[in-house]
Amino acid sequence: MNLVQDKIVIITGGTSGIGLCAAKIFMDNGATVSIFGKTQEEVDAAKAELKETHPDKEVLGFAPDLTNRDEVMAAVGAVAEKYGRLDVMINNAGVTSSNVFSRVSPEEFKYLMDINVTGVFNGAWAAYQCMKGRKEGVIINTASVTGIHGSLSGVGYPTSKSAVVGFTQALGREIIRKNIRVVGVAPGVVNTPMVGNIPDEILDGYLSSFPMKRMLEPEEIANTYLFLASDLASGITATTVSVDGAYRPS
């Protein structure tokens, strides 16, 4: 069963990691996917990879500044105009930092909030403009386990992701009257290239403290997106789903 057959989907941060994995899984399940990335070069490389695995599928790609609402609206609008609608918006793009409170500069904190909060707001706002007339759609926002439970360092990142949790709950309650669902996903530690840079001896000790004794795989997060975007999750909105393997930051 293709859970998102013929759905029109946009994934921000779709050029690598969880976002690129989600693009492949949504395409496997019948969706038409467009991806947003940081640079056009990254977008073009990801598009080429997706075309290798799905040669019969069209993939649009854009590199808007997520902190600029006009640029985001232009890119989202181009997708909706091309296909006649937008069914699913996945605000997956984000940045991280582990600097402790005393070392967080105003510039770093602003950058985290700009990308992780304003970027999500702009993506959701643009998607809403394309969905409200049809009174149908799903907006999925990527939060983090640290946005729910905090962490022992890196105060800026948990703060930004906590804002995503609050935004998701508030927006979901507000726009369900338009039959548009808003759901957050809070991943734990996921096996992405960023984690792959950690030396093995450090990573092994880190993983030994995990209840699952392993990291999550990108597919486990992407499959959660898939379920939440599908009609199987028609009653789920204004909440954030944790996909963390019982991990709690420490």
Catalytic machinery residues:
157, 161
Run of H or E residues at 179 = none
47 closest CA partner among 235, 39, 189: 39
82-114 exposure pattern, b = at least 16 Cβ within 10 A, e = fewer: ebebbbbbbbbbbbbbebeeeebeeeebebbbb
- Residues written for the chain: 250
* Distance of alpha carbon 186 from alpha carbon 89, whole angstroms: 16
7 closest CA partner among 133, 108, 138: 138
* Distance of alpha carbon 99 from alpha carbon 109, whole angstroms: 10
